[in-house]
Each structure stands twice: as structure tokens, then as C-alpha cells.
Amino acid sequence: MPSDKRLLWIISYHHACNDGTLMALIALLPILTEVMSLSYLEVGLLGFGLVITVVVQYAVGRFADRIFSKYLLEIGAVLMGTSFVLLLLVDDFAGLFTVVVAMRVGAAFYHPVGTSWITRKFAGPYLETALGVQSGVGNFGVIIAMATSGFLGELYSWKAPCVLWAFMNLAAVVLGLLLVTEASAPRINEAVSRRSSKDTFRKMLIFTPAIIAGGALYQITSTFGPLNLTSTGRWSPGAADMMFAVWILVGTITSYYFGAISARFGKLRLLAAGYLAAAISASLLVFTDQWWLIAPILIFYGAFLFVTYPALFSFVTDSTKAEERGTAFGILFGFQLGGGALSVFVCGVIADLLANAKYVFLIAAALSAVSLLSLFLWRSSRTDGRTPLVGGAA
């Protein structure tokens, strides 16, 4: 299936550009806090901009269930690239926040369109491998952004990564227009696509705590992890970003092998292990800023946390029909990003009050523990026969 694999890699490249662009901005925060005199509260407000993506993402998902087009991916990539071009003109918080809003609108397109496209196109035994690939490639884009943005900002200017990721997104648009045909877009059953989103949400309700926690853990760690090292540990921005790039790199490797790991241990066990590891790791991050302690903690953290994302995608795929996947993934990523937005804002307020960013990891640990508890309760209810079994969940 050469054409199908080409489609998978092009969609995955869009994922890398989408998530890499978002991470490039986060990776630049240690520099931007100095250049634009940003407070922790203002950093939290930038993170709260994720709410824009939540709202637009749901609308995009509903639209994609009615009229699915390859051009939806390209609209998102154009908006992402354009926002980073506009970022070159910004020199204060007001301008930065305005650009972030535009960026968040663009970011609303990939996940409900790209992820649902893959679940429809690769339904069957190859699905979990395809989900692992798109998740891993997306993480690879994040790694590049995290590993290079701080160093480029130190060597040249904070605007250098903006030019790089604007180009990457525009390249994604060109590749999508040239190499993906409209015929490869899924066919839509109009009658089914008009089903109530409430029905779709009910099927996903049991996973809501895990979905919210997953988004919160990613956003808290990636936003405040490097900031904590540069402010309290006196690390350079490039070195701090690189340390958390390792976290994502390890997670990317495990994501690629999600299909094999899931077949061996089961998705539910992977989710539970991921949130247990996150609770332990986040707690430990409060107490150290030494690289020889942080490195093994982040390796352990990343290895387990990042497989929870394709696991959740697979659970949602199992529990929904193909014709409602745009809506389903719009809801999933809405809760994920909404959880991330609210948690980053709350963490920004707390860090500002305490004048220290390290205590926000206690919030991450608490969210992990709550999510883990919800999974145990669900497992218990399934064992008692009170909750229907979702395919492949064990």
C-alpha cells in the first residue's frame, strides 16, 4: 500500500509541523520572558490561549464529519505558518498574545482532521501502528523545536526559529497540495454524520479524566520545565530546552512501538503505567535542578507518558464509528487542550504568587494520581459487569 503509506507520512508531517510550531514558541519562553519582561502570570495567560483551539477544534471536527476535505489540513498549516511570520513583528506581551490567538486557531485543524483521517483510512490490524507513527512523527517535530529553538535564539535571535517553522508549515502545504488527492479523503455518510455530538461524548465519558490529565501533564511540563531550570537552576535557555527535548525523544521512541507494546501488555495497563510514572516523576522534579538527577527522571517520565496518547486515540477509535470520528477527536483534543490551558493558567498564577515555578509539578502529580484512580475505578466497574467492555481495552 505505497499510496496509503505516503498519505500516512504526509499527514504525520503535518502533525510534526503543527506540534513543532507550538513547541517552538514554548521553547522560546525563557528568552521571551527576558526580552519582553514577561511574568509567570503572563506565561500562564499565553497557555490559556489553548481555549481558542478547544472551541475552534470542536467546530472543525463537526464540519469534517459532514464535509471532509484534504484542504482542511492545509488551512491549518497556512494559519500556523502565517502566525509565525507575524510573530517577527511583535515586541510586547499584547502583540505576542494576539499572535498566539491566531496560532491557536490554526492549531485547531490538525487533530480532528488528521487523526480521524488516519483512523478511517487505516482501520484494521494496521491501525495501532499507524496511530503510533503519526504520534511519533508529531513528537519528532516537537523534539526538533525543543532541541533547537533555545540554541538558535541564543546564537542568532529569538526570531530565527520563527522563520524556520514558518517555512516548515508552508512546505507542508505544498506537499499536501501536490501529493495528496482529494479522492483519498474519507467518504462521509451524511445521515450518520448528523448524529448528536452528545451520543459521541457519552461513549468517551469514562476516559475524560485521563484525557484532561494527559493534556495538562504535557503543557505543564513543557511550559514550566525549562522556565524552572532557567530561573531557579540558572541554566541557559538552550540547555534547559535540550533537557526536555530528551523527555520528548524518549516518548517518541516508545510511541513508535505503541502497536507492539499494546499487543503485549494491553492499552489499559499502558495508561495506568503512564499516569503512575507521571505522578512519581512530577513529584521528583520539585526537588532537583541537577542534570544527573533530572535526566533519568525525564527518561522514565517520557518513556511511559507518551504512549498514553496513542492509547487514548485507540480507545476512542474502538468506542466510536468512523462517521463520527471528526467529532470524537474534536471532543478528545478539546478536553486535552482545555485541561492544558486551565492547568497552565493556574500554574502561572501559583508560580507568580510563590515567585517559583517548581511547585507547579505538584499539580501535575495530583492530576496524574486522579487519572490513575479513575482508571482503577473503571476497571473495577468492568470487572463487576456494570460497564460495557470497549474492544481491546484490557
**CA dihedral in degrees (333, 339, 342, 347; nearest 10)?**
-130
Amino acid in the structure at residue 265: F
> Which residues fall within 8 angstroms of residue 230, CB to CB, at 6 or more apart?
30, 236, 237, 240
Which residues, 6 or more positions from 184, have their beta carbon under 8 angstroms from its beta carbon? 3, 7, 70, 121
pLDDT block averages, 10 residues each, the chain of length 394: 77 95 93 91 89 85 82 94 93 92 92 86 81 85 92 92 95 92 67 64 84 92 92 86 92 83 88 94 91 94 91 85 78 85 92 91 95 84 50 41
Rounded (10°) CA dihedral 376, 381, 387, 390: 40
Identity (one letter) of the amino acid at 125? P
Would you state the pLDDT for residue 391?
A: 39
**Cβ(250)–Cβ(298) below 8 Å:** yes
pTM of the model: 0.79
Q: Which long-range contacts (CB under 8 A, 24 or more apart) does 203-207 make?
A: 203/319, 203/320, 203/328, 204/316, 204/319, 204/320, 204/328, 204/331, 204/332, 206/374, 206/378, 206/387, 207/312, 207/315, 207/316
N-term to C-term CA, the chain: 30
How many CB atoms neighbour CB 357 within 10 A? 25
Residue 346: name the closest of 363, 334, 333 by CA. 363
pLDDT in the model for residue 385: 46
Burial code (b: 16+ CB inside 10 Å, e: under 16) for 274-312 equals bbbbbbbbbbbbeeebeeeebeebbebbbbbbbbbbbbb
Give the pLDDT of residue 330: 76
**Quick one: pLDDT at residue 3?**
64
**DSSP code of 335?**
H
Cβ within 8 Å of residue 384, ≥6 positions away: none
Q: Which of 300, 272, 259, 263 is nearest to 134 (CA)?
A: 259
Q: Which of 76, 83, 49, 77 is nearest to 61 (CA)?
A: 76
pLDDT at position 387: 44
- Cβ proximity of 333 and 64 under 8 Å: no
Superfamily of structural domain 2-182+194-379: MFS general substrate transporter like domains (1.20.1250.20)
| Backbone torsions φ then ψ of 249, nearest 5 degrees | -60, -45
Asked if residues 10 and 179 have their Cβ atoms less than 8 Å apart, the reply is yes
Cα–Cα distances (Å) from 199 to 127, 307, 320, 360, in that order, read 24, 27, 10, 35
- Domain borders along the chain are 2-182+194-379
Residues 6+ apart with CB under 8 A from 264: none
Q: What distance in Å separates the CA atoms of residue 390 and residue 372, rounded to the nearest whole number?
A: 18
